[in-house]
Structure 1
């Protein structure tokens, strides 16, 4: 299942994606699952970010295959951060928070924390280079 902040609720305030302080280019993203405090095997993904891309669609997409379907609730955005509520159906239902925090225009950390489960995902993104073509 793909948890995408952009897919469930539109960005509050309709902020211009170009105002978001992330540099365009090729990004290396390391996603590490966490189960009861134990880090799992990291998964590395690469993707190109274009200037003006929607930050909710670009930086707040996380795959959470072990959970029941989740939806995004309340969202907040600044020029260097994204934060949202997470609500997952199931028995019992799970609630929590997701976040993306940019330390610089070329590096961020992110994660998801669920009530009664703690942190379930750690993410780190680093811009590595310019994108060289439309198929990057």
Structure 2
């Protein structure tokens, strides 16, 4: 009788663990639509190939902001079109086609929710732009 009781407790515990893991798993593993960047005030440092100095800009990102609008590097010219956009929880990848070749490749990769590196350049060549973004604080007003 003792063995049957212990077996019943083991089965009950195993079923409880299985049920809890199936309920909690979707929350633990977010889908690709759940972009992992924190809202707030971001410092954006841009290094352009051939430019003597880096440029620094500050950008406030809202909690529900579109990652493509907030983090993807804009096309270098108004005549350029972004295509082949791919998004995961921690990165954005795309191609840019301008009026003349080559096709450019852009990428934003987050190594944490508060830091990313980005680049834009031709495949196999040194990037034309390198960007480093770091979140510094919460946005305190619409003017941030």
Q: TM-score range by the shorter chain?
A: 0.7 to 0.9
Q: Does 1:96 align with 2:104?
A: yes
1:28 alignment partner, one of 43, 46, 52: 43
> Please, which runs of 5 or more residues in structure 1 have no aligned partner?
1-14
| More strand, by proportion | 1
Using structure 1 for the length normalisation, give the TM-score.
0.74
Please give the alpha-carbon distance, in whole angstroms, between the structure 2 residues aligned to 1:68 and 1:25: 28
CA contact (8 A) 2:41 2:139 kept: yes
Which has a greater percent of helix? 2
Secondary structure class of the residue paired with 2:95? strand
Q: Which residue of 2 aligns with 1:78?
A: 88
User: Structure 2 length normalisation: TM-score?
Assistant: 0.71
Q: Secondary structure at the match of 1:56?
A: helix
Question: Residue 62 and residue 41 in structure 1: after superposition, are their counterparts in 2 closer, same or farther (change >3 A)?
Answer: farther
* 1:37-52 pair list within 5 angstroms: 40-52=52-64
The answer (yes or no) to whether the contact 2:92–2:107 under 8 Å persists in 1 is yes
Task: Provide structure 2 residue ranges, at least 5 long, that are not aligned to the other structure.
Answer: 1-31
Alpha carbon RMSD of aligned pairs, Å?
2.1
Q: Is contact 1:68-1:89 (8 Å) kept?
A: no
